[in-house]
């Protein structure tokens, strides 16, 4: 249905009457925009003070329009503690508490085009009551209830406590959620509730299951959600969140078992409820929110969707492909929130960065005709589809990690290679490794890498900018006021030359061989079979390079080691990797793709901004 905003634009009341615009135009005065805060009751008492928590929704909307306004929402815990965007912008307020600075460019660009921008402080953060529960029901309800309020189904107030009821009569009820990292994660979580009125989401480098952020198939990354909760609550005084934080600490058990706390934060498991379209962006070298998150979410979605995959780490596309991203967002929101028939949903589904700043459109993700191909390690260090036999052993050394495994593994890891490829080989999708391993002690970790062995120039995703360099010059995206400018520093690709590229990783605790919900004791000398996933990707291993599988124990770059590291022996006849391939490796044969729906998630690093 065409909203009131588009009707105004098409009527000629504000826009020139000569021709109907193809989409929203910047015809509203940003300086005259309404700026206000509404506190929305989320129906929970997370801080135990006997009152239902209210979350602060800071709103900026066109002053010329009183009805039919679509909403772009970013719900975040970072508006006062950590900042948003490459320049770590924080919200600011005037002496009366009215919002002045809205971080990021969304308000500057979209409010003049007839949109409202709503930035929600998650419960327990900035000016909201309650406590953060790190992706749990309170976090999700902080945003979902604001969607409800924008559609007349929840109650908003003029103050954090007391005050008078406020309605959103100006809203069309059409909401699009956007955000990077934690913010995009909340968009995923709200979409998984199927809430009415949420028309689209734009998750950028977002989590789809919090188990996979803190754990990986039984292995642990060494940090827990209660630490993140304390960080985002730090600047919101007056609330006692100790009980909630203790619950987070207790629920995130020291082992890597998948339990009730994680199940309550597993959005991928509820992706069938998603009704909103999805525009997804992720860096294939994101070592913070690892790429298994976008892969499992994408595979589970049944709605209209598009995806951008960059070579960066944890970076917003505004900072590596700015003009194209803003244009795409504009057309995407116009289509799904205003009903503009601009065809943005058509055409190639994926856009993938093949080399720094060199992008290729792809009809689908995973690539059309990519087939799960079983590759087997051979006793001579080969990797192919032929049956294998024999055994091979490594000695777990938690003090070394992936780069050492590739360059000088010693006895800590085993390397198997296809040898030099005679044609390009594309890895597109989510791989999985099956090992049959005999531990020498009562505890064991198993980790695996897929590696492109060959020289390349890539984005320096391990650098301080995770693949970008930030300059001093700026360009501007929308209108500015004295307190909220639309100008941002221009970035460029940070590149480096490498002799190998790790394109996918995975980690597991062998004690979870039978169940991710309950680890089992290991008996030294007994063989155990376990399958675990490697992170999703889309990567072309070029002709002249080799594709390698490396298997070791504790990847010290990421996971914690076992209580008793020891020698682990692989049965090569029952060890393999299933890789979604487009192209045929030497002597390859293929089989139907493995059903990954039964596998429960992988991955994470501590800084989630």
Q: What is the pLDDT of residues 452-495, one digit of tens each?
A: 999 999 999 999 999 999 999 999 999 999 999 999 999 999 99
Q: What is the pLDDT of residues 217-260, one digit of tens each?
A: 999 999 999 999 999 998 776 789 999 999 999 999 999 999 99
Whether 209 is catalytic = no
Q: What is the pLDDT of residue 608?
A: 62
Identify the structural domains of the chain with CATH numbers, from first to last.
371-460+495-582 (2.60.120.260)
pLDDT band at 43 (very low <50, low <70, confident <90, very high): very high
Kindly report the pTM of this predicted structure.
0.93
Nearest CA to 409 out of 426, 389, 393, 431 is that of 393
pLDDT band at 607 (very low <50, low <70, confident <90, very high): low
pLDDT band at 22 (very low <50, low <70, confident <90, very high): low
Q: Per-residue pLDDT for 29 more than 50?
A: yes
Spot the catalytic one: 183, 217, 226, 286. Answer: 286
User: 229: part of which helix (H) or strand (E)?
Assistant: helix 225-233
Estimate the crossing angle of helix 225-233 against helix 242-251, to 10 degrees: 160
Nearest CA to 322 out of 191, 488, 166, 434 is that of 488
CA distances from 252 to 154, 262, 264, 408, 548 (A): 32, 8, 12, 35, 34
Q: Per-residue pLDDT for 434 more than 70?
A: yes
Q: In sequence order, what are the residues at sequence separation of 6 or more whose Cβ sits closer than 8 angstroms to the Cβ of residue 120?
A: 55, 56, 57, 58, 73, 74, 75, 76, 128, 142, 143, 146
Instruction: Find out whether 462 and 558 touch, Cβ atoms under 8 Å.
Output: no
Q: What is the pLDDT of residue 238?
A: 73
Spot the catalytic one: 181, 431, 443, 504. Answer: 181
Whether 181 is catalytic = yes
Q: What is the share, in percent, of the chain residues with pLDDT greater than 70?
A: 92
Q: What is the pLDDT of residue 553?
A: 98
Q: What is the mean pLDDT of residues 578-593?
A: 69
Mean pLDDT, all residues of the chain: 92
Whether 545 is catalytic = no
pLDDT band at 598 (very low <50, low <70, confident <90, very high): very low
Q: What is the pLDDT of residues 342-365, one digit of tens each?
A: 999 999 999 999 999 999 999 999
Spot the catalytic one: 293, 314, 335, 539. Answer: 314
- Residue 96 CB neighbour total at 10 angstroms: 5
């Amino acid at each position: 249905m065409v909203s009131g905003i588009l009707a105004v634009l098409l009527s000629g009341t504000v826009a020139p009457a000569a021709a109907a615009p193809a989409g929203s135009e910047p015809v509203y005065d940003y300086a005259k925009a309404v700026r206000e805060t509404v506190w929305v009751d989320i129906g929970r008492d997370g801080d135990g003070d006997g009152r239902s928590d209210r979350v602060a929704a800071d709103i900026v909307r066109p002053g010329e329009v009183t009805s039919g306004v679509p909403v772009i929402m970013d719900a975040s815990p970072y508006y006062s503690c950590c900042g948003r965007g490459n320049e770590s912008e924080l919200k600011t307020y005037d002496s009366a508490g009215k919002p002045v600075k809205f971080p990021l460019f969304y308000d500057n660009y979209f409010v003049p085009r007839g949109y409202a921008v709503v930035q929600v402080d998650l419960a327990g953060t900035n000016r909201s009551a309650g406590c953060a529960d790190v992706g749990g029901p309170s976090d999700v309800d902080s945003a979902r209830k604001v969607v409800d309020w924008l559609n007349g189904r929840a109650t908003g107030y003029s103050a954090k406590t007391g005050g008078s009821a406020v309605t959103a009569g100006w809203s069309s009820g059409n909401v699009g959620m956007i955000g990077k990292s934690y913010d995009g994660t909340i968009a995923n979580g709200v979409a998984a509730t199927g809430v009415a009125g949420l028309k689209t989401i734009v998750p950028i480098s977002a989590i789809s299951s919090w188990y996979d952020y803190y754990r990986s198939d039984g292995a642990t990354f060494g940090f827990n959600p209660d630490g993140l909760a304390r960080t985002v609550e730090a600047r919101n005084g007056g609330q006692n969140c100790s009980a909630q934080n203790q619950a987070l600490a207790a629920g995130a058990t020291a082992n890597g078992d998948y339990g009730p706390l994680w199940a309550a934060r597993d959005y991928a498991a509820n992706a069938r409820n998603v009704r909103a379209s999805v525009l997804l962006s992720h860096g294939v070298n994101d070592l913070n929110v690892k790429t298994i998150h976008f892969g499992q979410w994408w595979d589970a979605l049944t709605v209209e969707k598009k995806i951008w995959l960059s070579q960066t780490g944890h970076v917003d596309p505004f900072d590596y492909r700015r003009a194209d991203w803003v244009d795409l967002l504009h057309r995407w929101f116009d289509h799904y929130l205003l009903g503009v028939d601009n065809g943005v949903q058509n055409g190639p589904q994926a856009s993938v960065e093949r080399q720094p700043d060199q992008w290729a459109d792809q009809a689908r993700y995973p690539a059309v005709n990519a087939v799960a191909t079983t590759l087997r390690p051979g006793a001579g260090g080969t990797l192919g589809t032929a049956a294998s036999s024999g055994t091979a052993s490594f000695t777990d050394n938690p003090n070394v990690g992936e780069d050492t495994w590739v360059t000088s593994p010693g006895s800590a890891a085993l390397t198997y290679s296809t040898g030099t490829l005679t044609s390009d080989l594309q890895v597109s999708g989510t791989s999985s490794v099956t090992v049959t391993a005999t531990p020498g002690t009562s505890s064991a970790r198993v980790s695996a890498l897929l590696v492109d062995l060959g020289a390349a120039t890539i984005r320096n995703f391990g650098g301080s900018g995770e693949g970008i360099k930030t300059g001093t010059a700026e360009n501007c995206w929308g209108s500015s006021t004295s307190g909220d400018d639309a100008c941002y520093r221009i970035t460029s690709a940070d590149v480096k030359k490498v002799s190998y590229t790790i394109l996918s990783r995975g980690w597991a605790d062998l004690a979870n061989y039978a169940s991710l919900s309950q680890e089992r004791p290991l008996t030294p000398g007994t063989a155990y079979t376990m399958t675990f996933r490697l992170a999703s990707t889309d990567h072309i291993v070029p002709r002249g390079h080799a594709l390698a599988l490396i298997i070791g124990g504790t990847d010290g770059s990421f996971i914690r080691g076992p209580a008793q590291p020891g020698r682990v022996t692989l049965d090569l006849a029952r060890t393999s990797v299933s890789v979604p391939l487009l192209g045929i490796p030497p002597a390859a044969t293929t089989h139907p793709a493995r059903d990954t729906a039964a596998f429960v998630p992988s991955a994470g690093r501590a800084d989630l901004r």
